[in-house]
Structures are given as C-alpha cells and as structure tokens.
Amino acid sequence: MINRAKRRKRASLGGNRAGLSLVELIVAMVMLAVGLLGLASLSVRLSKQHGGAASQQFAALVVQSRFDSLASIHCQSLAPSGPITGSATTRGVTEKWSIVDGNDIKTITDTVSFAARKKPLAYVSVIPCRD
C-alpha cells in the first residue's frame, strides 16, 4: 500500500510525464527566432564591411601606384617652382594629389574618395632628393 501511495503522489506531481508543454515549446521557438535574427543581422553587417574593405584596398592600390609613378620621376622635375596638384578618377576612386617642395625632399599628399566611404582618405609620402 505504501508503494501505491508513492506512485499516486509522483503521478500527481508530474514526475513521469514525457514531452514538452505548449508554453515551453513557444518559449523555445521565440529563443530560436531571436538567435536566427541576430545571425542574419550580423551577416548583413559583415557583407557591408567586406565591400567597404575591398573598395578601400583598391583605393590604397591606386595611391601606391601614384606614389610609385611620381617617385620614378627625377626629383628636380617634381615641383621645381611651387606646389603641383592633379586629380584623376580610376574605377570610381577619385584621387587628388599635391607635391610640395621641401629642403631636399618632396612631400606628396594623395587624397582619395570613393562611394563606400563618406570621408576621404589622405595618404602622405616623402621622396628624398638624392641627386
């Protein structure tokens, strides 16, 4: 008789139940939905950052090309009578550069702007005059 009483008490407390209640199922679905929405927003943000990084990489490549081409010119030919400025657009990247004559150096400033970035990027290089 003692075993029957324990079984009844256990059955009334829900000790031998199997499965989930409706409330538990709804809570689990809401938690899953919140997690999936978080992953989706992270994916969108990462793809935007990846596109911006690719544009910035190309802009840096354009600037490096400009610096290399100006460094290959004879130093006395660069800005002999005052600052020289110029601009160019390459595949959506607009660059504006200036060359300033210094004391045995030439300072080149190249500012680039492109659609993925609101503020322009400025790069500065110094070419020593060894001749």
| pLDDT per residue as tens digits for the range 63-109 | 999 999 988 888 878 777 778 899 999 888 999 999 998 888 889 99
For residue 11, pLDDT over 80 is answered with no
Report the C-alpha gap between 97 and 29 in whole angstroms. 57
Can you list the domains of the chain with their CATH numbers?
21-128 (3.30.1300)
Distance CA 85, CA 28 (A): 63
Mean predicted confidence (pLDDT) in 4-17: 60
Query: What was the pLDDT predicted at 6?
Result: 63
| Tokens coding 52 | 């911006």
Percentage, residues of the chain above pLDDT 70: 86
pLDDT in tens, 46-55: 988 888 888 8
Rounded Cα distance, 123 and 64, in Å: 9
> What's the maximum distance between 2 C-alpha atoms anywhere in the chain?
113
Distance CA 85, CA 87 (A): 7
